[in-house]
Structure 1
Amino acid sequence: MEFNGILFFPVTPFAEDGSVETDLLARHITRGVENGAGGVFVACGTGEFHALSTEELAVCARVAVTAAAGRIPVVAAAGGPLPLVGQQTAALAEAGVDGVLLLPPYLVTSPQRGLVDYVRAVTESSDLPVIVYQRANAVPTPETAAELARLPRVVGIKDGVGDIELMHRTVRRVRRESGAGFHFFNGLPTAEMTVHAYRGLGIPLYSSAVFAFAPEIALAFHRAVGAGDEETASLLLDEFYVPLVALRDESPGYAVSLVKAGVRLRGLPVGGVRAPLRDPTRDHLDRLEKLLDHGLRTVAA
């Protein structure tokens, strides 16, 4: 799998009866592909993986594969107990995805050897390439990360922790052994806030939640950073991303529910989030709408 550009994490639309709204998901993903996404990560964190059944996960994967039509890689999430991961990866392989984003084991904190055993078991039960999501109770040491990278089907690590010193040691250790072809991703919430730090570690790839509802802003920032246009990048950080993060941090779960609300504000009726997440309050929704309008005007100017 090769990724070039912003990594797109679409939301999962729900119909009034609670089912996955496949037509809206197809439109959402098609727009993202046509706007220049470098990869589609469907039914992952922003797509409420935690709230989807295996059958719904497979539905989302099939829709994404069809919408992407081979233009960019399609990755879908799997995670939790090993028997469940086996069911998920089998369904994803049948759907035709290009790879799996492997989320942490459910709840328990394991020793480092247990984490290796977990990832190895997943890779041995499926032929799909695996990207390990480093977060919560699955944070490998640099030595463990190097061992994971040696597993035949592990192709990348996505960081959701934000420990820069740890990532620096991990990147250096893994690339010394596995070469530059191993993928690292900045997967922090509102990753634009940490793009400069991760680029300093040799990690230019990042996921953009903003791309899901304001691709104009996300692409303008991505182009500015790539071109070394620090004036524009700083302007967008100050005028849009910093206040967005301040709003995001006012309630747990807003890293997902604000994104879904933003998609609704841009005209796609994707529904609300599933419990235990909560949709934004009226006040927060009003603030998001004003911030979105301001961000779009800033880009246009």
Structure 2
Amino acid sequence: MARGVLSFPLTAFHDDGTLDADGFRAHVADRLAAGPGAVFPACGTGEFFSLDEEEYRTVVTVAVQEAAGGVSPREDGRAGGRVPVVAGTGYGWAQAARFARIAEEAGADALLVLPHYLTEAPQDGLAAHLEELAARTRLPLITYQRGQVAHTVRTLRRIARIPRVIGLKDGHGDLERLQRLTLAAPDGFLFFNGAATAEIQARAYAAVGVPAYSSAVHAFAPEIAGAFFGALRDGDHDTADTLLRDFYVPFAELRDRVPGYAVSLVKAAARLRGQRVGPVRAPLTGPSPADLADLKALLAAGLDLVGASL
């Protein structure tokens, strides 16, 4: 997964809100052509929370088929394609297990366990949640700590002993806590930077041993995401700073104007690039006309920085 950014494709909907499987297929194919390290369908950016089980099945199946690139699935039913497919799952463990079974049947390689629904929970409960889910799936699990989920070192050691738990995605950005977790984890345990607009904190995460990161920008501007990833890889700090100053930080400021823009702005930007992804589903809302105009100008400026066009 470290060979490229981690891609979180958008789930495509028709204007009437129904799933657009063909639009999603085209979107995933375009993301894969840009060479991500892995593809994560039906996660936060993919509006997992708004999908029913059959829609989820379609989304994960399409992602697996596209990632396979025409290669037949392996005998164990999992994808044998160009990049790993890590599907989202979530809610309480009983419902998460239902989605996990669908992802297994669709051929996913692993699961990203999104924060559980609504309620706060003690550390023992967070660990037990993963234990219950792991007992009900064959797939490896990556826990996503964000919102009400934040693991302590003690909990990290407990969940790392669960045979199917292979990693942790962090969305809090608390680097002291994360450093404690990375030092306590066993060899081979995976960590990912899942902060909002993760590129802004990518160098700081890498400094504590977490170089891999998710990129929402990859969903609409893989040229920008790829240029930034390459600059980090090559130690080109001037290019990285230019992209941060002139694109990523202004994009994060625009994102922060309205709750839910972390998804709806990304989808709007993809539509501006001609991607057939459609609208967001409620309770998310699309950007206002003024915010959309600002997004279009910023996107054009960001693409110009890397020699691409809107």
The TM-score, its normalising length taken from structure 2, stands at: 0.94
Once superposed, which parts of structure 1, at least 4 consecutive aligned residues long, lie more than 6 Å away? none
Q: Distance in 2 between matches of 1:133 and 1:206?
A: 13
Q: Distance in 1 between matches of 2:226 and 2:292?
A: 23
Give the SS at the match of 2:46. Answer: coil
1:181-192 to 2 correspondence within 5 Å?
Answer: 181-192=188-199
**2:298 counterpart residue number:** 291
Q: Distance in 2 between matches of 1:300 and 1:271?
A: 27
Kindly provide the CA deviation profile for residues 138-183 of structure 1, in whole angstroms up to 9, marking residues without a partner as x. Answer: 2110121121111100011000111111001011111xxx10x211
Question: Do residues 116 (structure 1) and 127 (structure 2) align?
Answer: yes
**2:155 counterpart residue number:** 144
Q: Percent identity, aligned pairs only?
A: 48
Q: Distance in 2 between matches of 1:106 and 1:298?
A: 40
Which of residues 140, 146, 150 in structure 2 aligns to 1:135? 146
Question: Do residues 273 (structure 1) and 284 (structure 2) align?
Answer: no
**1:45 counterpart residue number:** 44
Question: Do residues 104 (structure 1) and 115 (structure 2) align?
Answer: yes
Kindly provide the CA deviation profile for residues 51-71 of structure 1, in whole angstroms up to 9, marking residues without a partner as x. Answer: 111211111000000011111
Deviation at 1:3, TM superposition (A): 4.5
**1:236 counterpart residue number:** 243
Deviation at 1:83, TM superposition (A): 1.9
Q: Distance in 2 between matches of 1:74 and 1:266?
A: 24
Query: 2:8–2:43: 8 Å Cα contact kept in structure 1?
Result: yes
1:7-86 to 2 correspondence within 5 Å?
Answer: 7-69=6-68, 70-86=81-97
**1:170 counterpart residue number:** 181
Q: Which moved more, 1:106-115 or 1:198-207?
A: 106-115
Q: Distance in 2 between matches of 1:119 and 1:136?
A: 16
Q: Distance in 2 between matches of 1:123 and 1:218?
A: 33
Q: Distance in 2 between matches of 1:17 and 1:239?
A: 36
Deviation at 1:35, TM superposition (A): 0.7
Q: Which moved more, 1:23-32 or 1:194-203?
A: 23-32
1:250-265 to 2 correspondence within 5 Å?
Answer: 250-265=257-272
The residue identity in structure 2 corresponding to 1:76 is A
Query: 1:3–1:73: 8 Å Cα contact kept in structure 2?
Result: no
| Ranges in structure 1 where 5+ consecutive residues have no aligned partner | none
Provide the alpha-carbon RMSD of the alignment.
Answer: 1.0
Count residues in correspondence.
296
The residue identity in structure 2 corresponding to 1:187 is G
**2:104 counterpart residue number:** 93
Q: Distance in 2 between matches of 1:298 and 1:245?
A: 17
The TM-score, its normalising length taken from structure 1, stands at: 0.96
Deviation at 1:225, TM superposition (A): 0.7
| Ranges in structure 2 where 5+ consecutive residues have no aligned partner | 69-80
Kindly provide the CA deviation profile for residues 248-267 of structure 1, in whole angstroms up to 9, marking residues without a partner as x. Answer: 00000110000000110000
The residue identity in structure 1 corresponding to 2:43 is C
Deviation at 1:34, TM superposition (A): 1.1
